Amino acid sequence: MMKDEVLTTMSNRYQAEVGKNRPTMRHVAALAGVGIKTVSRVMNNEPGVSEATRLRVVGASQQLNYQLDMTAGSLRRSGRQTLSVGLLLPSVSNPFSSEIHRAMEDALSVRGIAVFAASLDDDPEREKALVAAFLGRRVDGLVLTPIARSQAYVIPEHSRDLPTVFIDREPVGVEADAVVTDNAAGAAKAAAHLISRGHRKLAYLGDRTDIQTARERRRGFLESLAAAGIATSAIPIREGLHDEESARQATHELLASDDPPTAIFSSQNLVTFGAMRGLKELNANKRIALVGFDDFALADMMDPGITVVAQHPERIGKLAAERILARIDGDQSAPQTYVVPSELIVRGSGELAPPG
Amino acid sequence: MMKDEVLTTMSNRYQAEVGKNRPTMRHVAALAGVGIKTVSRVMNNEPGVSEATRLRVVGASQQLNYQLDMTAGSLRRSGRQTLSVGLLLPSVSNPFSSEIHRAMEDALSVRGIAVFAASLDDDPEREKALVAAFLGRRVDGLVLTPIARSQAYVIPEHSRDLPTVFIDREPVGVEADAVVTDNAAGAAKAAAHLISRGHRKLAYLGDRTDIQTARERRRGFLESLAAAGIATSAIPIREGLHDEESARQATHELLASDDPPTAIFSSQNLVTFGAMRGLKELNANKRIALVGFDDFALADMMDPGITVVAQHPERIGKLAAERILARIDGDQSAPQTYVVPSELIVRGSGELAPPG
DNA sequence: ATGGTCACTGACAACGTTGTCATTACACCC
DNA sequence: GGGTGTAATGACAACGTTGTCAGTGACCAT
């Protein structure tokens, strides 16, 4: 009697109802007339289920529109994988970042891994907060563009074997994989290119010096000048430029000086845009040579086309994804920094000859 | 005796060890000498904990580097929220899409909601697969750019009250909120602008006609011509263009015809790029007027600057996020389509006068 | 018959958390 | 002094799943 009553309650509770409440394995099991473990086996394509049973379960799950709950599964599952990784970028809408994002998505989606992406906006506090948010969601890996002065705060996670890869910039205070562009070599290539075209009076437009990559690019630029025997003391170095407008102004100031440069190297996307704008306003775009770091859309449609040192965000993203996957798969080798070479793309603006 | 042994085992198991294993509330509770429910209260800032106890728990959790497990919490928590939403875009690296992504992130992050973003690549199969992947992760909401012929497959979820918002295009086969640009009105604005400058021989370069927005834009364009009394039968309509190269070729063909147009309307980003390239190659960029749908970086740096009908992806994203939040908060009002107006931005290419 | 292997299946505990509820201690009031 | 209220606390079950393990037949070889 008692027992029957309980059974009735049970079957009522889990009986097939296509309603508002999301069905669980219990509902599917009840409808298919099997145990929940069998449903689990079917949903996960585990062996050891007869074809007849499998079909009944599949039918029931379709009838109820059942969807396996990965969050519950990862709680119990050994290894606890959530099949998700966190990606921290300067901004998801920045073209360079979003290329990386896309390349990572492609590499990770074949393994069924989803990507949480978030934007840092140069805010070190956000960096820590977003990492915490990712950790709270138990991501299987972390891919970060470091902003804060130190990344030592990830040490506890890292020592718990959470796969971590830094991109664009190397981390400070932790030993971890990193995927970066050859910033110094790229900038050196740009300088050497301008020098080979006869330029001696170069100028440098650079980003904020607290950014590691900006310092690297300046170093490469100056080393290249030194190697060509050009006194770097006479070279105007304008730094701290972080947007188009400040770069535009700096360009105006450079060209208004007593001894204006005949060629400009701009160390970053937005700075290049500002320089282009400044040169055009002064009607100097066909006279002053320009090489920019970072490629951008329509660079070839400018007048003249803009010669750049291109980074390869898609390769950076792919490589970062491969490193994360390797670590997830248990790779315990020592952390390493991977360098993705940059590439000089000749389009005209860098080939303008100096006057005379 | 027995009891003591068990207790010893317990305390060993949960004793403070800063090791590889991620600590749980039990570890924190054991270290702080409280029950796990008290730890839960502290971590969730629930009231009813004395300040002294709170401090002990906070201390213990910091010492162990404890991180609340949101996935476990959302399993038990009433309402089951995971504080995450899924976002399906044509491609995360497409500038229009990534602006939407960014705007949504900004609006959702203030509520602590993280975004899963994924790319569709015009593949209807991927659309369904990615929605399933999001559902398996129990997202609190879904924001989709529909690709497939019908979105009826989300009906079961929708009837389970899963907040769903479509962006860019309206869904087919479901009633749900949508946030779209005024495609027809925008294209009409472009045509009217060219007509007001004296053009009568216009040409239309359009995207694939299976895309709803492309059809809308063509409709607006043609209606605007008809309203001005221009016979639309004589207007060359080139459609099915989906990349720069095909648009470039179409431009060449248009200008090589017996009675070439004096103005071109291109219905989309990449098509505009192809048209620009084609016109430049034919040295016609300062002669043939051009208005494009979609704004893009450096449009003002072209020669002449490119006049466009700009969409406002940041407003679309913000609005979509607001709708999702409202639905998450229980808004049960009837689904609605929200239209974000486009904007004509005059830069030169659309103001070139017809010859004569 | 007996024993052994094998394929299939489900009961049960556990994952880490939170909702419910009971318990304790103490202050307060008549 | 007894009753009442309230703040603080923890035991316990439950969320939906999967790992473990034991059970059931069927089948084959002895």
Whether the CB of B93 is below 8 Å from some CB of chain A: the reply is yes
The reply to whether A62 and A172 lie within a common domain is no
In a domain, residue A318? The reply is yes
The reply to whether A261 and A175 lie within a common domain is no
In a domain, residue A98? The reply is yes
The reply to whether B308 and B318 lie within a common domain is no
In a domain, residue B177? The reply is yes
Query: Could you count the other beta carbons within 10 Å of the beta carbon of residue A343?
Result: 13
Which tens digit of pLDDT belongs to each residue from A294-330? Answer: 999 999 999 999 999 999 999 999 999 999 999 999 9
Nucleotides in chain D with any atom closer than 7 Å to protein CB: 7-20
The reply to whether B194 and B298 lie within a common domain is yes
Whether the CB of B132 is below 8 Å from some CB of chain A: the reply is yes
8-state DSSP, B285: T
What's the CA angle centered on A80, arms B64 and A168, to 5 degrees?
75
- The total domain count for chain A is 3
The reply to whether A200 and A235 lie within a common domain is yes
Question: Dihedral angle at the C-alpha atoms of A46, A48, A51, A56, nearest 10 degrees?
Answer: -70
- Residue B78, pLDDT score: 77
- Residue B156, pLDDT score: 86
Residue A84 phi, psi dihedral angles, 5° rounding: -145, 150
* Residues facing strand C, Cβ within 7 A: A 33-38, 41, 47-50, 52-54, 72, 75-76; B 22, 24-26, 36-37, 40, 43-44, 68-69, 72-73, 75-78
Q: Which residues of A touch B156 (CB under 8 A)?
A: 18, 65
Residues in chain A: 356
DSSP B24-56: -HHHHHHHHTS-HHHHHHHHTT-S---HHHHHH
In a domain, residue B78? The reply is no
Report the C-alpha gap between A290 and A203 in whole angstroms. 10
CB contact under 8 A, B118 and A114: yes
pLDDT above 70 as % of chain A:
94
In a domain, residue A93? The reply is yes
Predicted confidence (pLDDT) at residue A356 exceeds the cutoff of 80: no
Which tens digit of pLDDT belongs to each residue from A125-135? Answer: 999 999 999 99
The reply to whether B220 and B169 lie within a common domain is no
Check: CB of residue A101 under 8 Å from CB of residue A78: no
In a domain, residue A59? The reply is yes
* Per-residue pLDDT tens digits of chain B, which is 356 residues long: 333 333 334 445 555 455 578 999 999 999 999 999 999 999 999 999 999 999 999 999 999 999 999 999 999 997 889 999 999 999 999 999 999 999 999 999 999 999 999 999 999 999 999 999 999 999 999 999 998 889 999 988 888 899 999 999 999 999 999 999 999 999 999 999 999 999 999 999 999 998 999 999 999 999 999 999 999 998 999 999 989 999 999 999 999 999 999 999 999 999 999 999 999 999 999 999 999 999 999 999 999 999 999 999 999 999 999 999 999 999 999 999 999 999 999 999 999 999 97
A276-315 core/surface letters (b: 16 or more CB in 10 A; e: else): bbbbbebebbeebbbbbbbbbebbebbebbbbbbbbbbbb
Instruction: Considering only the beta carbons, identify the residue of B70, B136, B276 that sits closest to A301.
Output: B276
DSSP bridge partners of B238: B205
Check: CB of residue B152 under 8 Å from CB of residue B164: no
- Parallel/antiparallel/unpaired status of strands A307-310 and A343-345: antiparallel
To the nearest whole angstrom, how far is the Cα of A223 from the nearest Cα of chain B?
A: 32
8-state DSSP, B152: G
Check: CB of residue B172 under 8 Å from CB of residue B150: yes
The reply to whether B97 and B173 lie within a common domain is yes
To the nearest whole angstrom, how far is the Cα of A134 from the nearest Cα of chain B?
A: 9
The SS3 assignment for A180 reads strand
A190-224 core/surface letters (b: 16 or more CB in 10 A; e: else): bbbbbbebebbebbbbbbeeebbbbbbbbebbbbb
- CA-CA distances (angstroms) from residue B83 to A46, A317, B35? 31, 26, 27
The reply to whether B131 and B141 lie within a common domain is yes
- Residue A3, pLDDT score: 35
The reply to whether A258 and A212 lie within a common domain is yes
Domain boundary among A22, A38, A68: A68
A and B: number of Cβ contacts within 8 A: 137
Q: What is the CATH number of the domain that holds B16?
A: 1.10.260.40
CB contact under 8 A, A117 and B119: no
Q: Which residues of A touch B84 (CB under 8 A)?
A: 116, 137
Domain boundary among B312, B328, B351: B312
| CA–C1' gap, B79 and D4, in angstroms | 35
Domain boundary among A44, A68, A92: A68
Which tens digit of pLDDT belongs to each residue from A65-105? Answer: 999 999 999 999 978 899 999 999 999 999 999 999 999 99
Interface of A with B in 205-244 (CB under 8 A): none
In a domain, residue A245? The reply is yes
Q: What is the CATH number of the domain that holds B223?
A: 3.40.50.2300
The reply to whether B223 and B302 lie within a common domain is yes
Whether the CB of A16 is below 8 Å from some CB of chain B: the reply is no
Provide the residue range defining the domain that includes A300: 183-312
The reply to whether B58 and B104 lie within a common domain is no
- CA-CA distances (angstroms) from residue A176 to A58, A86, A120, A307, B272? 44, 16, 20, 34, 44
To the nearest whole angstrom, how far is the Cα of A183 from the nearest Cα of chain B?
A: 23
CB contact under 8 A, A93 and B75: no
CB contact under 8 A, B119 and A105: yes
| Spatial CB neighbours of B100, under 8 Å, sequence gap ≥ 6 | B89, B167, B313, B314, B316, B317, B320
In a domain, residue B353? The reply is no
The reply to whether B188 and B282 lie within a common domain is yes
